[in-house]
């Protein structure tokens, strides 16, 4: 991963700043997209049990002929599987499906108020001590979820949340920063909605880059990991180049000021965003 800019997690391992998201990618489309991503230089693949594409990710890695130690794999335990034995069974299955001895980063995909966060995190920690996972994280956690999680005294490296120019998440991001938790931005392009905003188009012209690169560079400038998804090889390659230039601070602030905190792309009925 020497050519990909990284952050160092509290656990001591390095996470590539740009990863490849795989939500809604399945079958041959998933294999083509992930294989293309690995070919153009991505080394961080983000998947999840509920995406039902572990086998496609495995096949893509085999296609790439890359060494396992050169890759960073993130996957997630679904909210129904957060009780201890369910989590252990799920992770053992993930290892088999991905054909790997370890997962670099394991996330709680969504909080579940019916299962104590501390129980799940302690199980994650046991799996970490066994060498089955390298780092522990959460996803879709609010500040209050994180406060509960931090009481477990388990090292939490990542909170993966929806962030884009229409959902700034500045307060939650600051809480994560204050607790040395890195924020990963999913749906960073707001499923295309962010790309058609006049300011984003204006800045793309100014820097002679795509609108997608403007948004991704803005997120990287704020110290986040980004995991854009695409099934178009040119877009996949273009997104990776977002780390290769620097946006002026004044332009970062302009994008900061356009956010509407209520615009969410991902808002399932079981969310606990009000917690």
Write out the two tokens for 268: 């399932």
Main-chain dihedrals φ then ψ at residue 2, nearest 5 degrees: -65, -20
Report d(CA 71, CA 38) in Å as an integer: 9
Residues in the chain: 275
| Residue 164 DSSP code | B
109 annotated to bind ligand: yes
Counting other chains too, the contacts that 172-179 makes at CB distance below 8 Å and 24 or more residues apart are: 172/142, 172/143, 173/222, 173/224, 175/143, 175/146, 176/146, 177/223, 179/146, 179/150
Which residues fall within 8 angstroms of residue 189, CB to CB, at 6 or more apart? 164, 195, 212, 215, 216, 228
The number of helices, as runs of H, and strands, as runs of E, in the chain is 10, 10
Catalytic annotation present for 186: no
- Cα 133 to Cα 128: distance, rounded to the nearest angstrom: 5
d(CA 214, CA 164): 11
Which residue among 42, 51, 186, 207 is the active-site one? 51
Q: For the chain, how far is it from start to end, CA to CA, in angstroms?
A: 37
| Helix-helix angle 84-98:117-129, to 10 degrees | 40
Beta bridge partners of 80: none
- Give the residue numbers annotated as catalytic, written as ranges: 51
Binding residues for substrate: 109
Binding residues: 109
């Amino acid at each position: 991963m020497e050519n990909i800019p990284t952050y160092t997690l509290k656990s001591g391992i390095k996470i590539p700043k740009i990863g490849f998201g795989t939500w809604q990618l399945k079958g041959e489309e998933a294999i083509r997209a992930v294989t293309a991503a690995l070919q153009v230089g991505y080394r961080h693949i983000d998947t999840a049990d509920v995406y039902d594409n572990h086998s496609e990710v495995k096949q893509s890695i085999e296609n790439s002929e890359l060494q396992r130690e050169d890759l960073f794999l993130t996957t997630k335990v679904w909210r129904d599987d957060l009780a201890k034995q369910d989590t252990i069974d799920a992770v053992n299955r993930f290892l088999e499906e991905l054909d790997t001895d370890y997962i670099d980063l394991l996330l709680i995909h969504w909080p579940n108020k019916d299962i104590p966060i501390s129980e799940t995190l302690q199980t994650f920690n046991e799996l970490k001590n066994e060498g089955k996972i390298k780092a522990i994280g959460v996803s879709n956690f609010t500040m209050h979820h994180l406060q509960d999680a931090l009481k477990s005294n388990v090292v939490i490296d990542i909170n993966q949340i929806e962030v884009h120019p229409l959902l700034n998440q500045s307060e939650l991001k600051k809480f994560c920063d204050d607790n040395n938790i890195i924020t990963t931005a999913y749906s960073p392009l707001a499923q295309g909605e962010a790309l058609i905003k006049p300011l984003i188009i204006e800045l793309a012209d100014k820097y002679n880059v795509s609108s997608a690169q403007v948004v991704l560079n803005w997120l990287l400038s704020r110290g986040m990991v980004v995991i854009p998804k695409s099934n178009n090889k040119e877009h996949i390659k273009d997104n990776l180049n977002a780390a290769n230039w620097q946006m002026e601070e004044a332009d970062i602030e302009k994008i900061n000021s356009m956010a509407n905190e209520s615009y969410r792309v991902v808002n399932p009925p079981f969310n606990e965003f009000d917690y």
